[in-house]
Amino acid sequence: MAERTMHMPTQISADGDTQKENNIRCLTTIGHFGFECLPNQLVNRSIRQGFTFNILCVGETGIGKSTLIDTLFNTNLKDNKSSHFYSNVGLQIQTYELQESNVQLKLTVVETVGYGDQIDKEASYQPIVDYIDAQFEAYLQEELKIKRSLFEYHDSRIHVCLYFISPTGHSLKSLDLLTMKNLDSKVNIIPLIAKADTISKNDLQTFKSKIMSELISNGIQIYQLPADEETAAQANSSINENENHCDFVKLRDMLLCTNMENLKEKTHTQHYECYRYQTLQKMGFTDVGPDNQPV
């Protein structure tokens, strides 16, 4: 049987004798080197590019949608005030260039106009669904181009829907259930009790519990805070378990500090992928040939 000799790598001694013996040139490193610098490269590139975040605010006129956005981003975003009694539900779209320290954010806020004002409220959700689908379609069309420019593409897909619930203290309206049921497969929904300070503390806790029970019984999926990422798990665990998850400070931290990237990732990997799959199937695309083998 032939013997196989393995040459172990020569160890480098502290006095340098081995280096001289093997004529090895030693380089002194300054600071970090190697692929451990990759995270820094990604951070620097992201800061140069800037970030985008798109929020959809759904709620009745005068419920406090604009005020909440202003407070969340600690700024006074100009918008056109809406009146009641629109014949149809519309959408008001505003894009803002914000900067905090050296980080730039392109924020798009889409607000419903005239939502819930009509006598027949059955179709109130349809313009919202159409808008979300239109943004998915625009991204898909860019993907399907031979020469794509996704790097410069302004991604207008909605990353989160803040759904404003009227502070009735009783139960969700049929319009609330109908709209959220038609949106939950398309966008990350975070329900908020608007003007919660108008309800007593005890009644508010009861109202929250009733809302969660109604959402579950109607099979409505709302955004679940990630608990698998170590950096965000600790911050999110208290929000997931805490009945006060709609409190403003927790909402701000959840949206901006710990979960903005997760919301964007879930929009792409779950909601957009579902739309893309269904659309390409309708267009006749398939991953298998006539013999049912992968193409």
Does residue 198 belong to any structural domain of this protein?
yes
Does residue 236 belong to any structural domain of this protein?
no
Q: Which two tokens stand for residue 19?
A: 């280096």
Does residue 206 belong to any structural domain of this protein?
yes
Of 62, 111, 61, the residue nearest 91 (C-alpha): 111
Q: Which residues contact 257 (CB under 8 A, 6 or more apart)?
A: 235
Does residue 230 belong to any structural domain of this protein?
no
Torsion of CA 27, 30, 33, 38, to 10 degrees: -160
Does residue 233 belong to any structural domain of this protein?
no
Least confident of 172-176, 219-223, 250-254, 273-277: 250-254
Does residue 152 belong to any structural domain of this protein?
yes
pLDDT at position 3 = 47
Does residue 173 belong to any structural domain of this protein?
yes
Least confident of 32-36, 61-65, 149-153, 215-219: 32-36
Assign residue 173 the CATH number of its domain. Answer: 3.40.50.300
Confidence of residue 6 (pLDDT cuts 50, 70, 90): very low
Does residue 293 belong to any structural domain of this protein?
no
Q: Which domain holds residue 173?
A: 45-73+87-225+244-283
| Total domains present in the chain | 1
- Arithmetic mean of pLDDT, 225-239: 62
Confidence of residue 31 (pLDDT cuts 50, 70, 90): low
Overall pTM > 0.75: yes
Of 32, 99, 82, 252, the residue nearest 162 (C-alpha): 252
Instruction: Output 249 or 214, whichever has higher pLDDT.
Output: 214
